[in-house]
Amino acid sequence: MPRPIQALIHLDALRHNLGRARAHAPDARVLAVVKADAYGHGIERVYPALRGADGFALLDLAEAERLRALGWRGPILLLEGAFEPRDLETVSRLGLWHVIHREAQIDWLAAHKTDVPQRVFLKLNSGMNRLGFAPQALRGAWARLDVLPQVEEISLISHFADADAGGAFDSGRPADPAGRAPRGIAAACARWLDATAGLPGERSLANSAATLRHARTRLRDAADLAGGPALEAGDAADTPLAADWIRAGVMLYGGAPDHPRRTAAQWDLRPAQTLRTRLIAVQDLQPGDTVGYGSRYRARQAMRIGIAACGYADGYPRHAPGDTECGTPVLVEGLRTRTVGRVSMDMLAVDLSPLHAAGRPAGVGAEVTLWGEGPQGSRLPIDEVAQACGTIGYELMCAVAPRVPVLTQDAAETAG
């Protein structure tokens, strides 16, 4: 008999969350971001639910091959572009779009022999300082690309460092009572407008955070709050921040990019991944008894704990707190409780006191929800677990170990 742990991928949640992305940016097209094997959910698993997107975005040529093998013939954008010159051969063969963020990539493209001109996304470094051309270098890069026969179309792209910060907009108006936008994203919008003014081509600016928080804000309104020179009205300046293409990533998988400022439930996002297991043992503790390696948790009173078949070898964070009064939240049979003691390789301990108090004592075989959808309509957001562990939901999604069996579920099919 296999261990009782398993991960569930909820296809109906993915479709719902894709719909929420469209609702926030109704005039933009959606690139579904499936990098890192669809944030740990599996490209092949999520594809049936996300093929309603207008395109996909990822990093890896092997992942692009997998999408084409699934039958996808629409746009696929390589978010970091080519890593070496020979990558462009695969780009041509698969008909991929690709980001240009440094001069060497233009050199490679100029030397690339192809009969099929390519669509490129020229990237501006608007303040993240990871990838992209400095504002003063963008036009020179654009001019180099514009004369290449290998280039069919030049689009423009950037990535905001502070889209998840405070001071969200709602329908183009600041929600902050003082009328302030986050200075970081305001300054980034000002750099963007200055660097790209007059350049043709479609634009992509908004990731999940910008889509949820700022999609309908006019770029000019955001840039004005940076404190620079006033911008005149115009087609580019009056464009909503959602622009032509949004890049929906973590929101598709049910994570709130600005948690805990706003939760996934407040954004009407549903968890696409559930990690669940069962209790394999129960222990009764007396005052002073300790739990787990290092005896980090000491019982203050008589209590019952359950041992769940999940540990750090399954992708659950070893550093999850278990030696404080709060611990890390879990659900047992849909009731909220906490971890106690250190997480070990294959097991963790949970406090069963809340179930006893509720008149619902739990024993061996009881269902434990580490995150996601629980029984009887219960839910434990992955962002809440991540916050308790001092990390982000993205990391937990991507960290579920290969040894954990994965099932897909589709409530829409079940209902039908």
The predicted pLDDT at position 217 comes to 85
Q: Does the structure show a pLDDT above 90 at 62?
A: yes
**Domain CATH code at residue 202:** 3.20.20.10
The predicted pLDDT at position 154 comes to 99
The predicted pLDDT at position 411 comes to 81
Binding site feature residues: 130, 345
| Distance, CA of 55 to CA of 30 (rounded, Å) | 6
The predicted pLDDT at position 181 comes to 40
| Distance, CA of 155 to CA of 140 (rounded, Å) | 15
Helices (H), 120-207: 135-146, 183-196
Bigger pLDDT: 179 vs 264: 264
Burial of 4 (0-12, 13-18, 19+ CB in 10 A): middle
Is residue 266 domain-resident? Answer: no
Mean pLDDT of 29-58: 99
The predicted pLDDT at position 242 comes to 87
Same domain membership, residue 282 and residue 147? no
Residues forming beta bridges with residue 151, ordered by sequence position: 118
Q: Does the structure show a pLDDT above 70 at 278?
A: yes
Mean pLDDT of 113-121: 95
Mean pLDDT of 89-100: 98
Same domain membership, residue 304 and residue 249? no
Binding site feature residues for substrate: 130, 345
Q: What is the pLDDT of residues 289-332, one digit of tens each?
A: 999 999 999 999 999 999 999 999 999 999 999 986 789 999 99
Work out the pLDDT band at 226, boundaries 50, 70, 90: low
Q: What is the pLDDT of residues 158-208, one digit of tens each?
A: 999 888 875 443 333 344 444 444 457 888 998 999 999 999 999 999 999
Same domain membership, residue 161 and residue 65? yes
The predicted pLDDT at position 222 comes to 72
**Domain CATH code at residue 277:** 2.40.37.10
Same domain membership, residue 212 and residue 99? yes
Same domain membership, residue 235 and residue 118? yes
Mean pLDDT of 113-127: 96
Sign of CA dihedral 198, 191, 79, 137: positive
Active-site annotation, residues:
35, 293
CA angle 136, 78, 402 (to 5 degrees): 135
Is residue 5 domain-resident? Answer: no
Same domain membership, residue 309 and residue 228? no
Same domain membership, residue 32 and residue 88? yes
The residue to which tokens 């030049």 are assigned: 154
Closest alpha carbon to 183 in 206, 167, 207, 205: 167
Same domain membership, residue 284 and residue 241? no
The predicted pLDDT at position 414 comes to 58
Domain that residue 285 falls in: 273-413
Tokens of 250: 């973590």
Q: For the chain, what is the domain count? A: 2
The predicted pLDDT at position 299 comes to 95
Q: Which residues contact 228 (CB under 8 A, 6 or more apart)?
A: 190
Same domain membership, residue 162 and residue 40? yes
